[in-house]
Amino acid sequence: MPDEGPRPPHRSQARDEPRDGAAHRDADLSGVALVTGAGSGIGRALAEGLAARGMAVAGLARSGDRLRTAMDEIAAVTGSRTLAVTADVTDRAAVDAAVAEVAEQLGRVDLLVNSAGAIDGAEEPLWEADPDQWWDVVSSHVRGGFLLSRAVVPWMVLRNRGRIVNLASGMSVRARPQYSAYSVAKTGLMRLTEALEGALEGTDVHAFDVAPGVVDTPMTRSMAMWQGFEEWTPVERVVGMVAAIAAGELDAWGGRLLHVAHETPADLAARGPEGDARRLRLRPWGDGDPLG
């Protein structure tokens, strides 16, 4: 497969985006997307939404049967090319092999979405958590995001185009004591995004954190803190935000956190960030604080 790959993703300028952030299903994107955690939840919705907009989509997950069913259904509904690749995102060899398979079958990746990741096994303080399970949660997000980026980004840089989206959370910026592993993982992923964006300065490759809000998924339903909660963020808004990123409409926000529940792509495009807005920073302790 030639390294040049498919055309970069774009959206037709002739189509308007609805105010709620969900793009039209026929909005024109092109290129190849790789979505981890695509077998269910937000990852599956993103895979279908991107395919509906014209991208060839590779879904990656550990559960092969469920993933293959999901990708087959997405192909049938959207008419786009799809591919199911099975891998543990924390396994370096498996990730490298999966990315190579995507390149061979669909072409080089234009959009990487790191959606895979685990949650704490129970709501408990960290000293009561199982150490192995706790670390597995952190690794699924941070090591997973690192390994996928490590495998995909060099080819983006070579072709001078590409977008990386890391799914963030409100816990990226405010830790929940009962979800210490998930909080640490999501904060670490934000640091990875900022470091990646800084290293990509001067290229047409950008990385973003996207906090989806509280979306109705099996993982969210399993969390005791959301029992009885019904004010869900529509998953279509998450798809709309990621589609706008893929289209290059939000490049000014590279290396920063976007929150689907509180803003739309149109809001963000109309008003860019100032200073260190939406980056992890300490508030200064008085004037002249070198850490502020």
pLDDT in tens, 133-173: 999 999 999 999 999 999 999 999 999 999 999 999 877 88
Q: What is the pLDDT at residue 3?
A: 39
Q: Specify the higher pLDDT residue, 14 or 168.
A: 168
pLDDT in tens, 189-236: 999 999 999 999 999 999 999 998 777 667 766 777 667 767 777 889
Closest CA to 190 of 209, 211, 207: 209
The whole-number average pLDDT for the span 87-105 is 98
pLDDT in tens, 64-93: 899 999 999 999 999 999 999 999 999 999
Q: Model-level pTM? A: 0.87
pLDDT at 120 over 90: no
Q: What is the pLDDT at residue 226?
A: 65
Q: Specify the higher pLDDT residue, 136 or 28.
A: 136
Looking at the annotation, which residues are catalytic? 182
Percentage, residues of the chain above pLDDT 70: 87
Q: Specify the higher pLDDT residue, 227 or 273.
A: 273
Q: What is the pLDDT at residue 216?
A: 65
Q: What is the pLDDT at residue 228?
A: 75
The whole-number average pLDDT for the span 32-46 is 95
Q: What is the pLDDT at residue 235?
A: 86
Average pLDDT, rounded, for the chain? 88
Both tokens of 76, joined, read 């049938």
Domains and CATH numbers, the chain: 32-270 (3.40.50.720)
Q: What is the pLDDT at residue 8?
A: 37
**pLDDT band at residue 267, thresholds of 50, 70 and 90?**
very high
